[in-house]
Amino acid sequence: MTQSDNPLQTLRRRLLLVSSVTAALVGLITWYTESERIDEKVLAMVVMAAHRIPPATLEAHAQGKLAAADLEHLVEQIATDHFGIVELYDHNKTRLIEYVPPELKHLEEELKRGGHVELTTQPRYMKHLIQGEFALVVAVPIARPGGAPVGYLEGVYLPDQETMTQIQEDVMRTVAMVVLAIVLTALTVYPVVLALHRELLARSRSILRGNLEMLEVLGSAIAQRDSDTNIHNYRVTLYAVALGEAVGIAASQMRNLIAGAFLHDVGKIGISDNILLKPGRLTPEEFAVMKTHVTLGGDILRQSAWLLQAREVVAYHHEKYDGSGYMEGLAGEAIPLNARIFAVVDVFDALTSRRPYKGPMTPAEATDIMRRDRGTHFDPHLLDRFLPLATRLHETYGQADETRLRAILLLALERYFMKETA
């Protein structure tokens, strides 16, 4: 298991990812919200400028008491306050005056193509970007407090760069504060989450140790019934791990293989002693009963969701590659990979071990016999990967005592089980 698989590393990456994504999303939302406020701030400036035309002035003009030149002069004054085009309308929305500063004549047609803002009892606006400059086309009603509009001012407001820079700096400052708050919150929460995570891992490791102990105890009970010790379970499990690593199975599949190797004969608990411990060859009837241990094993494993991971090996390790095995007569890759791996190492260990009815073979003698069953009993690819390893594995594990084998196996358990909750 690589360092990148360490749960604490994963936790740190996930917290970093979540805080980064949250900061980015909230920052974007804040930017959008504050950008909308830019429009509102500019609109407020426009409304203040429009209020420089008192309702009384328009009323006087409508009554003929104010000369057109005076009204035009007032509009020109407003235009100096960052306005481009300025249009003044009466209460019937009839245009009275249109004024465009000489320096902005070249923008008039481009501005007009953007359309007019509807004249209503509330200030309205549209945003435009004209030749790279921000502009707000606005329409502001001119009215006495609580009264109907006596006229309208429509214009294009072009805020100066200094004003826009100040507003944008305010927006960036707000976004930065929001992002900083999220980052600081993540840094504050991290130790708490880490402590809770470590507590959870400690509990998980405790539960896992209990499950592994149950695996070992149950395997030992099976071995005792079979007039053996745990040494067979240890040895065949280590052989299986070596072959599994040689063919590159995933860590999750390796855990299933280890559990299956430990419990491969769990169903023998249900076989009577006169058959299980018979020193000679079994009769066809007795062998038929013996074969049922794979079915019994599957039934036993169903009592535990954790032990069920061993089922592939327990239920199918006596299937043969050509379909002549038992209990289901599966063939080829229809047999689960872990069962095909275990079939190879189980036979090798059986041939090289001492049994009540035979002596141990040498690795060379055992592999010669196994080659004959290449493609019939054994998966050819798996057998080909195992045979170059067989002698070395036998030298390492075949003659080792139970204490040594158990110590080596504990390292494998640490590698494939305990590190997933490290």
pLDDT tens-digit readout, 337-386: 999 999 999 999 999 988 766 789 999 999 999 999 999 999 999 999 99
Question: Is the Cβ–Cβ distance between 46 and 157 less than 8 Å?
Answer: yes
Query: Sign of the C-alpha dihedral, residues 324, 327, 331, 335?
Result: negative
Instruction: Find tokens 């992002």 and name the residue.
Output: 179
Alpha-helical (H) ranges within 51-93 are 55-62, 68-79
C-alpha to C-alpha distances, 304 to 159, 251, 270, 316, 330, nearest whole angstrom: 74, 21, 17, 18, 25
Instruction: Tell which residue, 377, 396, 345, 388, has the closest CA to residue 233.
Output: 345
* Mean pLDDT for the stretch of residues 71-93: 82
C-alpha 169/C-alpha 172 separation (Å) is 5
pLDDT digits (tens, 9 = 90+) for 55-65: 888 888 888 88
Q: pTM of the prediction?
A: 0.56
> How confident is the model at residue 204, as a pLDDT?
61
Residue 3 scores a pLDDT above 50:
no
* β-strand pairing of 95-99 with 124-130: unpaired
Higher pLDDT, 47 or 132: 47
Residue 338: is it exposed, middle or buried by C-beta count within 10 angstroms (0-12/13-18/19+)? buried
Helix (H) or strand (E) run with residue 404 in it: helix 402-416
pLDDT at residue 365, rounded to an integer: 95
pLDDT of residue 201: 64
pLDDT for the residue 2:
43
Report pLDDT digits (tens) over 314-333: 999 999 999 999 999 999 99
For the chain, helix (H) and strand (E) counts, in that order, are 15, 5
Task: Reply yes or no: is the peptide bond before residue 45 cis, omega within 30 of 0.
Answer: no
Asked if 57 contacts 78 with a C-beta cutoff of 8 angstroms, the reply is no
Alpha-carbon torsion, ordered 279, 283, 289, 293, to 10 deg = 40
User: Own/partner pairs for 98-106, CB < 8 Å, 24+ apart?
Assistant: 99/72, 99/75, 104/158
- Predicted local distance difference test score (pLDDT) of residue 366: 96
Alpha-carbon span 152 to 110, nearest angstrom = 22
Q: Packing angle between helix 380-393 and helix 363-372, nearest 10 degrees?
A: 170
Please tell me which residue, 52 or 239, carries the higher pLDDT value. 239
Helix, strand or coil, per DSSP, at residue 141: strand
C-beta separation of 348 from 361 below 8 A: no
- In whole angstroms, give the CA distance from residue 343 to residue 331: 13
Q: For position 280, what pLDDT does the model report?
A: 77
- pLDDT above 70 covers a percentage of the chain that reads 83
Q: pLDDT tens across 382-417, in order?
A: 999 999 999 999 999 988 988 898 888 888 887 887
Q: What is the distance between the alpha carbons of residues 302 and 207, in angstroms, rounded to a whole number?
A: 19
Q: How confident is the model at residue 215 (pLDDT cuts 50, 70, 90)?
A: confident
| pLDDT tens digits, 280-309 | 788 999 999 999 999 999 888 888 887 888
pLDDT at 132: 63
Q: What is the DSSP string of 59-121?
A: HHHHTT-S-HHHHHHHHHHHHTTTEEEEEEEETT--EEEEE--GGGGGGHHHHHHT-PPPP-S
Tokens of 88: 């003044």
14-18, 104-108, 152-156, 355-359: range with lowest mean pLDDT: 104-108
Strands 133-143 and 124-130, how do they pair?
A: antiparallel
Locate 8 and state its tokens.
């604490």
pLDDT digits (tens, 9 = 90+) for 165-213: 776 777 777 778 877 887 788 778 778 777 776 776 667 666 666 666 7
What is the average pLDDT value for the chain, to the nearest integer? 82
**Tokens describing residue 134:** 């921000």
Using the 8-state DSSP alphabet, how is residue 118 labeled?
P
* Distance set, CA 390 to CA 124, 282, 347, 368 (Å): 86, 29, 12, 11
What pLDDT does residue 110 have? 64
For Cα atoms 412, 416, 421, give the angle at the middle one, nearest 5 degrees: 125
Question: What integer pLDDT is reported at residue 1 of this predicted model?
Answer: 41
Tokens of 174: 């707000």
Question: 335 CB contacts (<8 Å, ≥6 apart)?
Answer: 316, 319, 321, 379
